[in-house]
Amino acid sequence: MSSASFAAEALKIGVRTYQFTLRPFIGAHCRFHPHCSAYAIEALSEHGALRGTAMTARRILRCNPWHPGGYDPVPAAKTS
Amino acid sequence: MDNKRLLAAIAISIGILLLFDVWNRPAREAQRQAAQNVQQSQTTGQPLPQGNTALNPAGVASTSPNDGAPTTPAPRIRIQSPRLEGSVNLRGARIDDLVLRDYRETILPGSPNVRILAPREDNASYFAQWGWTAADGRTAIPGPNTDWTADGTLTPTTPVTLRWDNGAGQRFEIALSLDTNFMVTAEQRVVNTGAEPVQVLPWARVRREHTPHLAGYYILHEGFVGVIDGRLREWKYADAKMEAQRRNGAPAFESDGPGGWAGFTDKYWLAAVLPADQSAPSHAAFRATQENGQDRWQVDVTPTGAMTAAPGATAAYGTRMFAGAKEVKLLDAYTTDLHIKDFYSAVDFGYFWFLTKPFFYALDWIYGVVGNFGIAILIFTVALKALFFPLASKSYQSMARMKALGPKMQEMKERNKDDPAKMQQEMMAIYKAEKINPAAGCLPILIQIPVFFALYKVLFVTIEMRHAPFFGWIRDLSAPDPTNLFTLFGLIPWDAPAFLHMPAWAIIMGITMFIQFKLNPTPPDPIQAKLFSFMPIIFTFMLASFPAGLVIYWSWNNLLSVAQQYYISRHDRQTQRLEKAAARP
C-alpha cells in the first residue's frame, strides 16, 4: 500500500468512527444526498487523501442553510 | 425480539461483573494492605535518599553525612500567611509541610485543609528544596541532612534567612520570602571568605516521592508540566517513567531556555519552581527515578552553568516556588506581574484555549453576579444556545413549505418504498427543484461541536466548580452525584459496588437525551440507526461517575435543544394555520 492510499484509509477510518460515535449523538442534519460523511468516504476512495479531503471540506462548507442542497454525488475520477 | 436479547445480554454482563467484584474484593483488600505495609517499612528507618544523581555527583556525596537516619527531630520554623500554613524543615532546607487554608479536603464542615506539601515521614512525601552542587568537586556543600539555622516565622511581612557555614571559608544562605498568595521567593547565596574561588551550581527542585491518585480523564493533564524553552511541556507520570528508563535514568525531558517554569500539576493544585530572573538563561529537567521499588518524580531548575564566587565575593541565584491552587486569575496575575512566561497555562485549557479561556471569564463573571456556579452554568448555556438560535431556526423555516409538498412526497415514497437509497435520492431532487430543505446542514452542526466541547472542558478543569453547591442533594458540582438508584436512593442500606452507581442526575440526563434523540432525524444507515436508539442508555451509564456539574450541564443542554425544536415547530404550525386561514375566501 502506498503512503498516499494509507493516508486515505486512515482518514476513512476516522470518518467511520465519527459515523458510529459522534453522529448518533448530534443527529444527521445533512442537506445533501449522499450525506457528507458518505460523500467523504467515497471521495477518499475515488480521489485519494489530498483531493478527497479538499472535496469533503468544500462539501461541508456548502452544507449550510443558505445552500439549496439536494443530490450531489462525488464526481468520477478522471481515467486517463 | 432483538431488544429482548440485548437486554438479556446486558443483564448477564452486569451479573458477571457483580459476581467478579464480590469474589475479588477480599483479594484486593489484602493486596492493598500488603502494599501499605511495604510502604511503611520503607519510609521508617530508611536513610534519606540521595535525590538527584546528576546534581549531586558521587564525589560530593561524602561531604554530606548520609549514613543512617538522623535521630534528633528536624528543626523547623513556621510559615504563616492568610492563605498558607506550614513550616520550613531546616534539615536539608526544604519546605515539606504546607496546607492551603482556603481549601478543604471534603465538603464536610471541619474537614482538614488541603495539604499540598508533605514531609518524608508522610506516605505522600512531596517537597520543595534548595541546594548546591560543588561544580569544582572540592567545595563543601550543604547536604540533605544538614541542619540550617534560622529564626522567626516566614510570613508575607517577615522574610527569613537560612544560614550554614561549611567551616572551610564559605557561608551558604537561603533567603526566603512569601507573598500573600502561593509564591515563595528564594535567593541562594554563597559568600566566599576563603582565599580560593569556588564554583557551585545552585538548584531548586520540587520532588514527589509517591504517585498521586490520578483523576485519570483523557481531557485532563496530570503530571509534569512546565513552560521550558518557550513551549508548554506536559508529561504524564507513566510516559516520563518510560522515557527515563529508555534513556537509562537520564531526565525524561530537559532543556535550556530563558525563563519559564516547571512543576507538577494535579487537577486543581500545582507545585512548581522557576528562575526569578525570567530573562536569564536557565535549565530545567523532568526526572523519573526508582528507589527501593518506589517511583520518585522530580523537577528542577538550575542556571545553565556553574557560578563562581571569587574570594571575598558572593554568588547569588534567585528562584521562586509556587505551591497552591490553580486559580485562573491568580496565575494570570503572576504571569503579568512577575513576567513568568505563560504561567497561566498551568490550567489545562487545551487546544481550544481561544474558546475555553473566554468561556471561563464569562462563567466567572456570571458567577460573580448570581453567586452560584451551577446557576452560572445554566445561564451561560442558555446564552450559547441563543447565539446559535438563528442557525437552527433558519433551517426550520423551510418546514412550512415542506408541509405543502406532503402529497408529492408521499407519492414518491410509495413509488420507491423498496429502495431507500433511491428514495433519498429522489427526495433530495425534489428539495432542490423546490428550493427547500428541512435539514440545517453539517456545517452549522460541526461549528457547534468545539463550542460545547470547550464549555465542557472549562467546567472540568477549573477549580471554581470545586465544592460549589447546587440545589437539593448536590453539594459539590465537581464530584459525582452521590445518590444511587441501586440503593433506591438510600432506602436500601447496601454498599453497592462502584460500577453499580446510577445517580438521579444521570437518569435525568438519560431521559432528556432520549427525548432529544426522538426529535433528531435518524441516520439513514440501519446499523447506525440501531446504535442511535441505544445511545441514551450508554451515555447514562458512562456519565454516572462524572462530576455532577457536567451531568447537569448536559441535561440542561438537551432540555434546551428539545425546547428549541418544540418552539420552532409550534411556531411553524401557527404560521401555517394563519396562511391557511388567509387562503380561505
Give A72 to chain B, closest Cα distance, Å: 9
Residue (of B562, B362, B329, B565) closest to B451 by Cα position: B362
* pLDDT tier at B34, thresholds 50, 70, 90: very low
DSSP symbol at B370 = H
pLDDT score of B399: 53
Please tell me the distance from the alpha carbon of residue B212 to that of residue B116, in angstroms, as a whole number. Answer: 11
Dihedral class, residue B108 (left if φ above 0, else alpha if ψ from -120 to 50, else beta)? beta
* pLDDT tier at B141, thresholds 50, 70, 90: very high
Contact (CB, 8 A) for B227 and B343: yes
**Mean pLDDT computed over every residue of chain B:** 81
Contact (CB, 8 A) for B200 and B134: yes
Which range of A1-15, A48-62, B546-560 scores highest in mean pLDDT? It is A48-62
Please tell me the distance from the alpha carbon of residue A51 to that of residue B436, in angstroms, as a whole number. Answer: 30
pLDDT score of B56: 40
B525 touching chain A per CB within 8 A: yes
Buried b (16+ CB within 10 A) or exposed e, B144-173: bbbebebeeebbeeebbbbbbebeebbebb
Which residues belong to CATH 2.70.98.90 in chain B? 75-213+220-350
Chain B CB contacts of A68 under 8 Å are: 431-432, 435, 437
CB-defined contacts A:B, below 8 A: 95
* pLDDT tier at B581, thresholds 50, 70, 90: confident
B517 touching chain A per CB within 8 A: yes
Q: What is the pLDDT of residues B45-79, one digit of tens each?
A: 333 333 333 444 333 333 333 444 556 788 999 99
- The residue that leads in pLDDT, B500 or B67, is B500
CATH code, residues B75-213+220-350: 2.70.98.90
Residue B127 has pLDDT above 90, yes or no: yes
Contact A60 B443 (CB under 8 A): yes
- The residue that leads in pLDDT, B209 or B18, is B209
Residue B20 has pLDDT above 60, yes or no: no
Among A17, A25, A35, pick the best mutation site for testing chain B contact (most B Cβ within 10 A).
A25
Give A76 to chain B, closest Cα distance, Å: 18
B395 touching chain A per CB within 8 A: yes
Of A24, A29, A30, the CB nearest to B532: A24
What is the predicted ipTM?
Answer: 0.84
Q: pTM of the full predicted structure? A: 0.74
Give B435 to chain A, closest Cα distance, Å: 6
The dihedrals phi and psi of B83, each to the nearest 5 degrees, come to -115, -10
List the single range of B75-84, B226-235, B395-404 with lowest mean pLDDT: B395-404
Give A2 to chain B, closest Cα distance, Å: 31
The SS3 of residue B324 is strand
Residue B543: which residues within 8 A CB-CB, separation 6 or more? Answer: B506, B509, B550, B551, B554
List the single range of B17-21, B406-410, B465-469, B496-500 with lowest mean pLDDT: B17-21
Name the percent of chain B lying above pLDDT 90: 39
Chain A CB contacts of B394 under 8 Å are: 65
The cell for B139 is 567545595
Residue B428 has pLDDT above 70, yes or no: yes
Which range of B135-144, B320-329, B340-349, B535-544 scores highest in mean pLDDT? It is B320-329
Contact (CB, 8 A) for B190 and B200: yes
Mean pLDDT computed over B462-483: 84
Among B422, B443, B535, pick the best mutation site for testing chain A contact (most A Cβ within 10 A).
B443
